Amino acid sequence: MSTPPRNDSDLHSLFEDAVSDVHPEGGTSEIRARAGRPSASRWVPLTVAAAVATAVVIVGGAWLGQQESGNAPAAGSGGTAPEPSSQPSSEARRTLQVPVYYVGSTAAGPRLFAESHVVPNTTDSDLQVAVEEALRGDPIDPDYSPAFRNETSTARASTDGETITIDLSDDLGATVDMPDESGTAGVQALVWTAQAATSSQQPVRFTIDGRPTDRVYNVDTSAPLQRASADSILATVSIATPAEGAVVPTRFEVSGQAATFEANVVWELKRGDEVVRNGFTTAEECCTLSPYSFTVTATPGDYTLVVHDTDESDGEGIGTSADTKRITVE
């Protein structure tokens, strides 16, 4: 994670639904400490939770499907369109909720996973805040990573209403030997983030210190880039709700999107290494990113929720892809 298009009012309802059941307790360090869990062979090292986020939720599968259909969502939850420039005009400091795409490991290689970050006390635009989070922010889910881990690089993002420009402070890939597929995923994380933050499909132009650049991390940026198709760049299995660190009731719904063989989606609820609940469901369509959902009942405690596809090759294929979330049942 094709999903039929929805109108803007449906989009905001979906986005609010994704946020409504998330009640993380304590600070980000407390959430992170609730439970250790096995990594799903992720592409990059684990990162700490975002210090700037007062609350973070994973964007719903339908939200991602809507972007695939060409109707990118508004970044905030209040239904107002983002400012069309890098700085809002004469606005006081405020809290923004912005979509951010990060890179994670899958059996198909590095793919994009979406989070929604709440960033307080900013005067920047939705676009600027979102791109900064994608470039330098810390994902709440430690299995994901920023597009390019480079603490010295910054970016300024702006739009003239027709083209988005991301102006990097330096050449991110000048001293890094990165596989082509990883560089592509990193650049696309910035493209998907920028288009989602502006609720548009404006092509994204990359510059370095105000000058045009032909390449970013070995990706051809000589012309403005459009986002890659959802099936080619988004994670083949992802959990939309519950979010990482969520507190849920004893009966809760799991939703997300998947592109799997015969639409098969398998899940386990684990306490440590012990599987305490398991089952399966099907996505709405086979072999292309489409929504799935199911309901889990569990006793109070700390768990790891695992959702994955199936390996139909009898061990001869690329293996399975999974998404995992640490949750607390109360």
Q: Which of the two residues, 138 and 89, has the higher pLDDT score?
A: 138
Res. 184: pLDDT tops 50: yes
Identity at 264, one-letter amino acid code: N
Q: Which pLDDT belongs to residue 179? A: 62
Q: Which pLDDT belongs to residue 43? A: 38
Give dist(CA 237, CA 64) in Å, integer: 12
Q: What is the pLDDT of residues 25-84, one digit of tens each?
A: 444 444 344 444 434 333 333 333 333 333 333 334 334 444 443 333 333 333 333 444
Mean pLDDT to the nearest integer, 128-152: 88
Mean pLDDT to the nearest integer, 111-139: 95
We find that the CATH architecture of domain 237-329 is Sandwich (2.60)
Degrees to nearest 5, angle at CA 106 with 282 and 70: 65
Q: Which of the two residues, 167 and 314, has the higher pLDDT score?
A: 167
Q: How confident is the model at residue 172 (pLDDT cuts 50, 70, 90)?
A: low
Q: For the chain, what percent of residues have pLDDT higher than 70?
A: 66
Q: What is the pLDDT of residues 33-45, one digit of tens each?
A: 444 443 433 333 3
Q: To the nearest 10°, report the CA torsion of 196, 305, 135, 223.
A: -50
Res. 185: pLDDT tops 50: yes
Q: Which pLDDT belongs to residue 130? A: 97
Mean pLDDT to the nearest integer, 240-260: 97
Domain range summary for the chain, segments of one domain joined by +: 8-230, 237-329
Q: Which two tokens stand for residue 65?
A: 């499907």
Q: Which pLDDT belongs to residue 148? A: 78
Which residues 6+ apart lie within 8 Å of 160 measured at CB?
A: 84
> Is 147 within 8 Å of 190 (Cβ atoms)?
yes
DSSP annotation of 124? S
- The kind and range of the H/E element at 286 are none
Mean pLDDT to the nearest integer, 163-167: 97
DSSP annotation of 263? G
Q: What is the pLDDT of residues 258-304, one digit of tens each?
A: 999 999 999 999 999 999 999 999 999 999 999 999 999 999 999 99
> Is 64 within 8 Å of 1 (Cβ atoms)?
yes
Q: Which pLDDT belongs to residue 112? A: 97
Which residues 6+ apart lie within 8 Å of 289 measured at CB?
A: 1, 2, 3, 61, 64, 65, 68, 230, 231, 234, 236, 257, 258, 259
Give dist(CA 98, CA 55) in Å, integer: 11
Backbone region of residue 4 per phi and psi (left: phi > 0; alpha: psi in -120 to 50; beta: other values): beta
Q: Which pLDDT belongs to residue 218? A: 82
Give dist(CA 178, CA 19) in Å, integer: 35
Q: Which pLDDT belongs to residue 150? A: 65
Give dist(CA 297, CA 29) in Å, integer: 27
Give yes or no for a cis peptide into 110 (omega within 30° of 0). Answer: no
